[in-house]
Amino acid sequence: MKTIKGPGLFLAQFAGDEAPFDSWEGITRWAADCGYKGVQVPSGAAQLMDLEQAAASKDWCDDWKGRAAEAGIEVTELSTHIQGQLVAVHPAYDLAFDGFADGKVRGNPAARTEWAIDQVKKSLTASKNLGLDRMASFSGALAWPYVYPWPQRPAGLIEAAFDELAKRWRPILDHAEDCGVDICYEIHPGEDLHDGISFEMFLERVGNHPRANMLYDPSHYVLQGLDYLDNIDIYKDRIRMFHVKDAELNPTGRQGVYGGYQSWVDRAGRFRSLGDGQVDFGAIFSKMAANDFDGWAVVEWECALKHPEDGAREGAQFVKDHIIRVTPHAFDDFAAGGSDDAANAKMLGIS
């Protein structure tokens, strides 16, 4: 068994235009002051890192890591959630997602896709230069508008969507193999890879690619009504990243999983700060330890109620309290009497 590393903090919800969140030195010092040992960094956050430099220069990466280390912070992973999302966008979402892309490719879906693929590949190269062996991402979505089967889906529609999704991601996964970096897809509503079955559909189409893995976040399973503990055991060999995020689902006679188009604070299902929701993290951390998960426990703060800085500080201590320092020996070793084949045979009455 292995002891999970942590606590780490995903910086996507904190990077901004004001100090200390507008610079690498400032945000790493702040994270350390909150009690974190590591940070997961969105590769598109220009105020925190220069992706072009990171992909081109190991020396630049060494210096960047060194500046974080001065604050007592380790880089846990890079994230390409936004760029991964743009690898595959259904036309219904073109306008909504265009704002995430570089201004030069907005209004041009084909160019946007190529830009996103290049961004993900550069982030993989940067991960290699940083000495990291896994990277977070979204899969994007071509089939999501048809997630509910009404009107009836034409035969072959979903299969065609997943064939195309795999076609776009296969060269990226091959580049990930060259870099020695796993792509950990966050299983998430709004992505074609939104549950175990859809992940398996994708995995089959990319030939069970060894670099196609999972980012486990139980909050997204709570809001879908999935068994988030069973999921750990089913996919333990593919779970390579862990977001520690809480959620609650409180259906009423008026609304359930779909939320009735309400804002986050008024939805039956909503994200909460750690300890304020329904996720059984004691059971999750136990399963992760038993299954030899060797990565980081990374807090992703998203809450409709609590201030983010309060959630971040509380989250660091929450993770510290849940990480299990695994035992190096069995609890009953003190009673071991030693044995050999002859003694075993005698105990069983075997001649």
Q: What is the DSSP string of 203-214?
A: HHHTTS-TTEEE
Q: Tokens 């939104």: give the residue.
A: 194
Question: Total structural domains in the chain?
Answer: 1
Confidence of residue 336 (pLDDT cuts 50, 70, 90): confident
- What CATH number does residue 238 fall under? 3.20.20.150
Q: Which two tokens stand for residue 165?
A: 């999704």
Quote the CA–CA distance of 62 and 50 in Å, as a whole number: 13
Note whether 48 and 42 are within 8 A (CB). Answer: yes
Give, for 13, the enclosing helix (H) or strand (E): none
Q: Which two tokens stand for residue 284?
A: 């999750």
For residue 337, the tally of other CB atoms under 10 A from its CB is 5
Quote the CA–CA distance of 312 and 317 in Å, as a whole number: 9
Dump pLDDT digits (tens) for 135-148. 999 999 999 999 99
What pTM, to 2 d.p., does this model score? 0.95
What is the model's pLDDT at position 335? Answer: 66
What is the model's pLDDT at position 276? Answer: 98
Q: Which two tokens stand for residue 290?
A: 């038993």
Opening angle at CA 84, ends 271 and 30, nearest 5: 55
Quote the CA–CA distance of 91 and 62 in Å, as a whole number: 40
Give, for 113, the enclosing helix (H) or strand (E): helix 109-129
What DSSP assignment string belongs to 150-169? Answer: -SPPPTTHHHHHHHHHHHHH
Residue 124 DSSP label: H
Confidence of residue 239 (pLDDT cuts 50, 70, 90): very high
In which domain, by residue range, is 302 found?
5-348
Buried-exposed string 38-57: b where 16+ CB fall within 10 A, e elsewhere: bbbbbbbbeebbebeebbee
Q: Which two tokens stand for residue 12?
A: 């996507």
Q: Is the pLDDT of residue 337 over 90?
A: no
Cβ contacts of 135 within 8 Å, gap of 6 or more: 77, 78, 79, 80, 123, 124, 127, 176, 181, 182, 183, 184
Dump pLDDT digits (tens) for 94-118. 999 999 999 999 999 999 999 999 9
Dump pLDDT digits (tens) for 265-321. 999 999 999 999 999 999 999 999 999 999 999 999 999 999 999 999 999 999 999
Residue 307 main-chain phi, psi, to 5 deg: -65, 140
Residue 210 main-chain phi, psi, to 5 deg: -65, -20
Q: Give the distance from CA 106 to its chain's centroid.
A: 27
